[in-house]
Structure 1
């Protein structure tokens, strides 16, 4: 009887201890006490002499969302630093510092909250920073445990601070608004991911990587239809919308976006991508590397501005498919040659796709510049239109009376 009573007391003691441990929270922090960072902008400043050494300096724009119950406070939602701008629902901290860690540390001296980067949605790099090199910044962004690989990243032409004050009707916080724009542009331009993970992969594999590029028009609206080319931590150039599409197609990223083709009288034919793939057929010709891209694409017609055409018969559709296939092939070939002549870089993930071809893979790994100088390319296109919409013909041209 005593043994049973002893066991019962031990059981109650353990249960009570477990209840305390499981129900208790000894390291929590109130939301109002955390400065949740959703956007980080980085601009280049003139170097400064710190502790007897010439040191590279940056201006950081750190956007922090305000708690709902504090957003109505007239003292919150302000920009702290060289610019002081009243906003609603967020605070912009503008800080000059030699490193990200130093900059974030300064926020604690200007705010009563501790910075939290776990919800960072966007990183905006000034063009001067990108061209001079992001190696110092990259170390922090990839080493800090709170950083997420899918944080969107883009290069900002002009003042970075202005991007973090762009108003939006649907999203009052500029950093979140910009992150949504990046995400939408990736879908409509058939652009591969422009995020920290893509940058990290390019750095690790020592290959060329691409991020989106943005500027503000005369109405202070964000325009994001180009991309920045990076190699070895530095921005080397800018890609047009057409070049972005060609790179994505040849990478095999064919499942979204619109393609435009020329038509008579400067008009356009617009097709939406439905599905497709791009296979690589490598070979060695006359001792030089050669690659044939075999592109297959299924689309649906969105707009056809060439008046007076009809698509009631299969041969009419086949004729249009053949015409668009030829136009797309020429576009792909011309763009590949231009990019190869200017950058001599692996935009098409050949370093990965040629792993099953030892001789070619050895060439691209050991002598990448020589490989792309010697590389010859051919393109085969199989372009299909699976849906013409609700109309099988187009209106006739109106005649002047």
Structure 2
């Protein structure tokens, strides 16, 4: 298959620019918030609360958001999501003004940051399903796997540069102007998005009662062993392997490498994932997908344990780099499963369930990491998370031979023949 098949469509290239700008801004913003909050409180639990403030609205509104996405035109809905993010970024820019910091009590500043993060969780509940659905309207079905790989690669590239630039920009220009830069990227994403035309609504059940719609979406996810298995495995692994939430502690207190080192640590997983994703455009991962996914998550758990025990900066960087590589394999396989197995009229709802299982587990994992670090210490918390990830893989491989033997070769061939 042509490794550049999806890139031959102009609107898909524009879509990748939009996704890059948004993920870059979002990942950079999350890092700047983490740094600022920990600098203000020196409390690991405060980092966990950031994740909790985003995961609560993201999970509670996810299914409703999926229903809306399936009922509405996708391009304009994405415009509204980016506008919402821009408002939040501008609010954080205001809160980081030196005059505001000097005249406002720390507790009130924290409440303001948490409130804006909470609003961001609502925006994210709509953003993920909208992006997932829009891809399917830009490229033909026969190149869904290739498009999913390039989309995930773009996501990882932005995740590399966003955290890295966040660390360096905090050091060079401070938190306030870093937030200004984030706002600028959200505006840039909006400009790019208007170069994509409006898309038809593929759902034949427009006006379907919301509860009936949600019931059908959940029925499909829980009825598909491939989709449900992939989401469950990744959710639990990410939930207990969320060591990145504790990186400000490692950078400031354990490894003592400052903002620049923090940026490198935060970017290392995404660098590894991006390299793997570029390679996968030439070496597809759909054969023996179940075994590869299990091995990838197992490798992720090992890397997290090594990182947790390391007191060497460069060993920590290597462990995080490798964790990103195996996580990239996991992400590509999961996205390929979702793109191939999901009907067009259910993409919003299935993507919403995906955001509940996997996307939100990042923030819930951040809360879990912050809480366990508070209770048992930072290093012990990270090692505990990696160990739980290994146990999850072992249990899944034992109790679900159907998922273990999953192979997507036939699905890929059927989509190619249908086009």
- Do Structure 1 and Structure 2 share a fold, with TM-score over 0.5? no
Structure whose residues are more often helix by fraction? 2
TM-score where L is the length of structure 2: 0.24
Structure with the bigger RCO (C-alpha within 8 Å, sep 6+) is 2
Higher Cα Rg, which structure:
1
TM-score where L is the length of structure 1: 0.25
Structure whose residues are more often strand by fraction? 1
